[in-house]
Amino acid sequence: MAGGFRLMAVHAHPDDESSKGAATMARYLAEGDDVTVVTCTGGERGDVLNPRLVDDPQVKSDLVALRRAEMAKAREVVGFEHVWLGFVDSGLPEGDPLPPLPDGCFALEPLDITVEALVRVIRERRPHVVTTYDENGGYPHPDHIMTHVVTIAAVRAAGDPDAYPHAGAPWQPLKVYYDRTFTRAKLSAYHEALVKDGRDSPYPEWLERRSDRPEGRVTTRVRCDEWFDVRSRALLAHATQIDPDGMFFALDAREQGEAWPTEEWDLALSAVPLTPDEDDLFAGLGSPEQADALATSGAVTMVIDDVVERKEH
């Protein structure tokens, strides 16, 4: 399909965009489409997950600035446009009982404020397709769950001229996808590739941790193995968050492509019918000009996910 479409990926923290859908974004950029990443928070309360940097003086002195710099590097690697939504990381509460979330964090912000902020970006960038997380956040981090809530509300409000009238001219995104990056089938394929080659696999533990989580449905598989190297380099740009010796890199980009050449998505809301065996996030939208006309027509009905016909993964 020729370029000219616009894609927006809404994420909770810097690094989420690189671990969830970076190769899909790189493919569409290579094909001439526009891609914008919206990051809801600055990742201020994130842990340092790279053991090589735990005691690094710069990390200890200004993690906020470092994570912004990492985000800039990842943006340069992939090539997307980037918008900080400007809210504060909620952190991941741990303990029993769980401690309260900190005052002023993203997960506690009034929805009128957070939704309007994203509506402004949607109306400015005019995406045909939006990607984000499902109602469980992909995993139950309060910022991921809030990102889902805010994104769905903003998508529904963006095309309504009576909603947030001072936030720009109405624009209705036509499709919303949930990220399905870490399916059990994909992780199992990675594990089997390592075992077949006689190497140790880190994936049984990861699979066990995910065994009690519901497996998200998959409607769409985007072939993007040509850009797995871009995905790997974008991940490594987030040096405080990604261990270069960790499970993301147990297989190199070529081996990942041989084991599992696609990134997976779940069509959650759509103004057009689901295309059978869908392999393109812009499927069913016609030309970019036709999509533009539909998005501004004022006559779009976004079908909720339970009505959309699906394929089980």
CB half-sphere exposure, 2, CA atoms < 13 A: 5
What is the dihedral angle through the alpha carbons of 217, 220, 145, 135, rounded to the nearest 10 degrees? -40
For 281, phi and psi rounded to 5 degrees?
-65, -20
Q: Please indicate if the annotation marks 191 as binding a ligand.
A: no
Cis peptide bond N-terminal to 97, omega within 30: yes
45 within 8 A of 237, measured Cβ to Cβ: no
Write out the H or E segment, with its range, that includes residue 231: helix 228-237
Q: Please indicate if the annotation marks 238 as binding a ligand.
A: no
Nearest to 234 by CA among 226, 242, 223: 242
Q: Please indicate if the annotation marks 13 as binding a ligand.
A: yes
Find where tokens 């340092």 sit.
Answer: 48
154 within 8 A of 38, measured Cβ to Cβ: no
Question: 69: which 2 tokens?
Answer: 């710099």
Nearest to 247 by CA among 279, 214, 286, 199: 199
Write out the H or E segment, with its range, that includes residue 114: helix 111-125
Nearest to 190 by CA among 258, 263, 246: 258
Output the known binding site.
13, 16, 144
Mark the binding-site residues for Zn(2+), compressed into ranges: 13, 16, 144
